[in-house]
Amino acid sequence: MKKPENVDAYIANAPNQVKTTLKLLRATIKKAAPQAQEKISYGMPYYSLNGRLAYFAAHKNHIGFYPLTSAISKFRKYIKPYKFSKGSIQFPLEKPVPIGLVKKIIKFRIKENLKNN
């Protein structure tokens, strides 16, 4: 698969069963961070505002959400139901993405970036 040129192309090339979820995740991030720049980085959607905010990507069994290490530490108790690592959270395809949590994480990352830059 060739590298997508933009987020629209990324979503268009995603499997049909995840397109709605990807669109919802994108809309949530854009609503929480309307000033953020939307790009493709490392072959996946990426959002930037005074530095990196988050990435997301479709995988075979989950949607990967990559809000960086600080957000994982801050929201650790809220992400316990999901598989997660130092910098990522896996939202299983068979469950709805926790939109409220994603919004809180993005808002946290914005404050963090504005404070640090």
**What pLDDT, in 10s, does the model give residues 10-37?**
999 999 999 999 999 999 999 999 999 9
- CATH code of 11's domain: 3.90.1150.200
CB 110, CB 51: distance < 8 Å: no
Is there a domain that residue 30 lies in? yes
Model pLDDT for residues 56-101, shown as the tens digit of each residue: 999 999 999 999 999 999 999 999 999 999 999 999 999 999 999 9
Domain count within the chain: 1
Two tokens at 68?
């960086």
Between the CA of residue 99 and those of 25, 49, 52, 116, what are the distances in Å?
7, 20, 19, 26
Residue 74 lies in a domain: yes
14 C-beta neighbours (distance < 10 Å), count? 18
Beta strands in 20-93 (DSSP E): 37-41, 44-48, 52-58, 62-66, 83-84, 89-92
* 24 lies in some domain: yes
